[in-house]
Amino acid sequence: MANCVLIASDGDALLVDTPYTASLTRSLIAAAQRVLPTPASISRVVNTHANGDHAYGNSLFPHADIISTDANLDHLCLEPAPEQLQTLLDNCQEEKPFDRYLLAHFGRYDYSELSLTQPSHTFTGRLELHVGDTAVELIEVGPAHTAGDLIVHLPDSGVVCTGDILFIGDVPVHWAGPLSGVLDACQKVLDLKPAVIVPGHGPLARPADLRDYMDFITAVREHIHSLHAQGLDVQDASRALLHEHRHTRLGLRERLAVLTSTEYRHLNADPHPVQLLQLLDSAVRLTPDCVPTSVPARHRAPHRP
């Protein structure tokens, strides 16, 4: 699951990212109400980027100011709306490998109560806020994971929320790139000298964990560039990268094919918009072992006539 962060001070509260479903968002709101002093409520929401697992819950904060970067709107045009994703899952056929993959990873969630809610306040560069007497710095670092990534810095407590600039525990997936942009964004996090780093996914991290992650991204980037220089097309380069993958402690290795496609798009100066589902479909086709042979009943999307 994606990480969300609640910042509260002096009767004011801000939420960094919102959950993936209505039920998860309501659970988060209930948990927040148990710890927020009366009459504090979440008056502002910051989206680190536009992926649904960080922004679908926006619609359950109808009175909040929702903040993101200007460029975040560019990725929002590419991201399926909750109802589109629900329809896609409802129409999945288990005899199709890609559909089984989608059901295994997304079929457990119900998106039917959500609607796409765009940011009400956008900015470019940096935006300084205060939550009560707590300083909050929003720093644009995209394009990297998506077109409009931002990080959230709490200078008084040495905390940085990275969104999906950083994944802990799995191979990352980056849709916009280039990977040099991801590395630059990571360096901006390190430059803030954080004590604690909140990744988009996975447990809390330290600067040493981020440096290890940057070493991994650097190695993947150099490998992709070498394969491109040898004249391999994106499919063959993806196969080579997948075959030589040695980081078995990292899950979701099929994402290496997405990283290859993302980097090739920049190396080839491809002007076409990113096709998220096509990228994922291609990655799954290259890694048939990542597709379950069947989908447990609790992971099947409910049929709606």
The tens digit of pLDDT for each residue in 126-182 reads: 999 999 999 999 999 999 999 999 999 999 999 999 999 999 999 999 999 999 999
| Residue 305 confidence (pLDDT) | 35
| Residue 295 confidence (pLDDT) | 82
- 301 within domain boundaries: no
Q: Given the structure tokens 């709101």, which residue do they identify? A: 29
What CATH code is carried by the domain that includes residue 59? Answer: 3.60.15.10
- 303 within domain boundaries: no
- 305 within domain boundaries: no
| Residue 75 confidence (pLDDT) | 83
| Residue 105 confidence (pLDDT) | 92
What is the amino acid identity at position 227? L
Ranges under pLDDT 50 in the chain: 303-305
Distance, CA of 258 to CA of 277 (rounded, Å): 10
What is the amino acid identity at position 169? G
- 276 within domain boundaries: yes
Task: Say how many domains are in the chain.
Answer: 1
Q: What is the DSSP string of 153-188?
A: EETTTTEEEEEEEEESSB----SS--HHHHHHHHHH
The number of beta carbons lying within 10 Å of the beta carbon of residue 37 is: 9
Q: What token pair was written down for 208?
A: 């040493």
Distance, CA of 168 to CA of 201 (rounded, Å): 6
- 116 within domain boundaries: yes
Number of residues in the chain: 305
| Residue 225 confidence (pLDDT) | 98
- 189 within domain boundaries: yes
| Residue 300 confidence (pLDDT) | 54
Taking the alpha carbons at both ends of the chain, their separation in whole angstroms is 29
Q: Which domain holds residue 123?
A: 5-295
Residue 59, exposed/middle/buried by CB under 10 A (0-12, 13-18, 19+)?
Answer: middle
- 300 within domain boundaries: no
- 304 within domain boundaries: no
